[in-house]
Amino acid sequence: MMSDVKNAAKIKLLALDVDGVLTDGSLNIGAEGELFKAFNARDGLGLSCLLRSGVRVAIITGRKSAIIHRRAEELGITEIYEGIKDKRKILADLAEQGGLAREEIAYMGDDLNDLPALTYAGLACAPADAAPEVLAVSRFISTKCGGRGAVREAAELILKAQGKWTEIVDAYLKQGQGDSQ
């Protein structure tokens, strides 16, 4: 865990899969397409705190969904990559475009299609209920399942490692911050 905290202190970008990470992985599809996805408000507040603290957040998903755009807009996430087969390439492109070293990138994924991105990122993160192969390559494994607070734990890990968490909590003790959840 100590090495994970050290790695987390360097993170400038947290990239996330959606199904199984930001959601519990359930796909609710009706005759006319996707009906809904359930997101966790604590995950949302964690992401808002990251963004407010200067850590970039990106969504990289193999699926396409208007629901993802709606949730990202609520949270202020502007970097959304959908229909992606090679998530590692997107991370490498983001690193090159943003002048980031691999050690400055964290990625949270839950299944086999996330393995290339997880092994590229400087800090590989997984929800507790991720595939065994994903758990095996992850340096941070949340105690929570996907869609149930796993992203919040990763956000807190990063913010605490960077010495920003106490400042965030203190700001909330004084007054609400207007963050989206």
What DSSP letter does each residue of 118-160 carry, written as one string?
A: HHHSSEEEE-TTS-HHHHHH-SEE-SSPTTTTHHHHHHHHHHH
Distances (CA, A) of 101 to 48, 58, 95, 141: 23, 16, 6, 22
Counting Cβ atoms within 10 Å, is residue 46 exposed (0-12), middle (13-18) or buried (19+)?
buried
Q: Please say whether the beta carbons of 79 and 94 come within 8 A.
A: yes
Which pLDDT belongs to residue 38? Answer: 84
- Rounded to 5°, angle at Cα 120 from 88 and 46: 85
Which pLDDT belongs to residue 4? Answer: 65
- DSSP-assigned states of every residue in 25-93: S--EEETTEEEE----HHHHHHHHHHHHTT-EEEEE-SS--HHHHHHHHHHT--EEE-S-S-HHHHHHH
Mean pLDDT of 24-37: 75
Banded pLDDT at 14 (limits 50, 70, 90): very high
pTM: 0.92
pLDDT by residue (tens digit) across 81-112?
999 999 999 999 999 999 999 999 999 999 99
Banded pLDDT at 1 (limits 50, 70, 90): very low
96 Cβ neighbours under 8 A, 6+ residues apart? none
pLDDT by residue (tens digit) across 104-148?
999 999 999 999 999 999 999 999 999 999 999 999 999 999 999
CA 91/CA 16 separation, integer angstroms: 10
Most confident by average pLDDT, 4-18, 20-34, 64-78, 123-137:
123-137
pLDDT by residue (tens digit) across 44-69?
999 999 999 999 999 999 988 888 99
Banded pLDDT at 2 (limits 50, 70, 90): very low
Q: Would you say residue 32 has pLDDT above 80?
A: no
